Amino acid sequence: MKETNLGADHIGQKLIRLTSNLCFSVFVVSVLIFAVTAITYQPPNPWLESAPAFTKLFTQTENATFKIDDSVVKTGEDLQTGTAPAVPPADIKPITEEVIKRKEEEVSDMTLKSSGREDLEVVNCSDPRVLITVEKFNLWLFKSVVFLHYQTPVNGSKQDEFDVSWTFGNKKEKL
């Protein structure tokens, strides 16, 4: 026959029942506290607090006529220098690798004035090699485009940037 310890089983069951009743009681009490707080809480009325602001807004008078705007807005036409036409003439030939090689030969004879060390932090936009590099890169990257004319690079928004504009066309279309 087996001997069972009935006293230990009853204590464990009573302990579990007591713990569950205690947890349920805490839950019920917290729900009651939350409900009472929600029912009795009255937040301040935003309309009463902001009434002076609304009164001022709705009662102020202002001249309803149009105001004169003297500000100057720059457009693309204002930014054109006039050195190159917006539409290239018909006698301009496309820029090809041969044209770039000729430019490189002309530039290779030129020497740049430097202070002994090359300052690689700042892009020198007046250097003709910059434009040649841009032309080479565009020919390499955009194979379906015919480049007709490049303008001289100008300083960009940062020290190490420059901006250059060009005119182009599609290789498939007759230029």
Q: What is the pLDDT of residue 66?
A: 72
Q: Are 122 and 160 in contact (CB under 8 A)?
A: yes
- pLDDT attached to residue 22: 97
The span from the CA of 165 to the CA of 89, in Å, is 16
Query: Which pLDDT score is estimated for 29?
Result: 97
Distances (CA, A) of 160 to 68, 138, 154, 165: 40, 19, 11, 17
Half-sphere CA count of 72, side-chain side, radius 13 A: 2
Query: Which stretches of the chain score pLDDT less than 70?
Result: 1-8, 46-50, 63-64, 76-91, 109-123, 175
Q: What whole-number distance in Å separates Cα of residue 168 and Cα of residue 148?
A: 5
pLDDT of residue 158: 79
Give me the pLDDT at residue 157, please.
81
pLDDT at residue number 79: 61
**pLDDT per position as a tens digit, 73-113:** 777 666 655 544 445 455 677 888 888 888 888 887 665 55
- Residue 87's pLDDT is 52
Q: What is the pTM of this model?
A: 0.43
